Amino acid sequence: MTRFEWPTLLWGERTITVLSDGLQRLDGGAMFGVVPRVLWEKKLAPDDRNRIRLGMNCLLVDGPGGRTLIEVGSGDKDDAKFQDIYGLERDGGLPRRLADRGAPPETVDRVVLTHLHFDHAGGATKWAEDGRTAVPTFPNATYFIHRGEFEDAMNPNARNAASYLERNYAPLDEAGRVRWVADGDRIDGIRIFETPGHTRHHVSVGVDDGEGRLVVFLGDLVPTTHHLPDPWIMAYDLYPVTTLETKQRFLARIHDEGWLCAFVHDADYPLSWLKRDGRGRHMRDEERDPWGG
């Protein structure tokens, strides 16, 4: 079953709704790095092109301080060949989901991006009427981005150039709509945590309920609930050993603080509580329903 949105979560003084920009398909081997296929194919079965189905989940946050979007998916600027390679299936994508909820793009006050890869930041811009100029999708929003991530994205290397497409973020800066973020920043109820590894300046994003309890959007630090075990790290990560260290540190904190996790690429479990097994390993707590209170 394909789902593109989930019930609204009441989170203290805020509401949080998971809205998906759609589905994508990425190479299963690349998604699980050094983990052998005999192990990962039991969790997510690959298609005949060895790709697994993934979500592109975003969070819509409403409450004091206005309306915030955490991530925006791939957007719709890509040509047919690109859409085929990455198996993009968007069905109107995030803009349709927002319109359905009475939250059109011009009502979004801020957009927060964990990093600038196309499947996270592509929806930040759209084609203007001429079909060739990319302009901000959310005309009244401030876009919150780590300056180091932006600089790396503007100077990609041969290994990450396929994911960093200038049309997705350069127009935001040109339009003067970017505000740089760093570790520890608090933007009303939104908190920024530097969580390096996938990229050098990747951030995770917390949504405060007003009393310090967070929903933490982990971005590509832990893209699905299947990536919770230590060695399950994507081959896409530029600094996988750093990912491991960040993951161990940050998941321990999340567990200790009792925070709820949001998983960008998990098509089935976009929100999940964590638990630890007898050996201290983090896993999805399937007995606690995130929407059940």
Binding site for Zn ion (CB under 5 A): 117, 220
Least spacing, CB of residue 160 vs Zn ion, in Å: 9
Q: CB count, 10 Å around CB of 55?
A: 26
Q: Specify the residue, 67 or 115, whose C-beta has the smaller distance to Zn ion.
A: 115
Q: 290: which 2 tokens? A: 């995130």
Least spacing, CB of residue 198 vs Zn ion, in Å: 6
Dist CA 28 CA 115 (whole Å) = 21
Q: Specify the residue, 76 or 152, whose C-beta has the smaller distance to Zn ion.
A: 152
Least spacing, CB of residue 243 vs Zn ion, in Å: 11
Dist CA 233 CA 253 (whole Å) = 19
What are phi and psi for residue 54, nearest 5 degrees? -130, 150
Least spacing, CB of residue 233 vs Zn ion, in Å: 12
Please identify the residue of the shown chain whose CB is closest to the bound Zn ion: 117
Least spacing, CB of residue 120 vs Zn ion, in Å: 6
Q: 128: which 2 tokens? A: 């203007």
Closest CA to 214 of 256, 266, 264: 256
Q: Specify the residue, 14 or 146, whose C-beta has the smaller distance to Zn ion.
A: 146
Q: Specify the residue, 9 or 121, whose C-beta has the smaller distance to Zn ion.
A: 121
Q: Specify the residue, 149 or 209, whose C-beta has the smaller distance to Zn ion.
A: 149
**β 110-112/66-70 pair status:** parallel
Dist CA 222 CA 219 (whole Å) = 7
Say which residues have a Cβ less than 8 Å from residue 157's Cβ, sequence separation at least 6: none
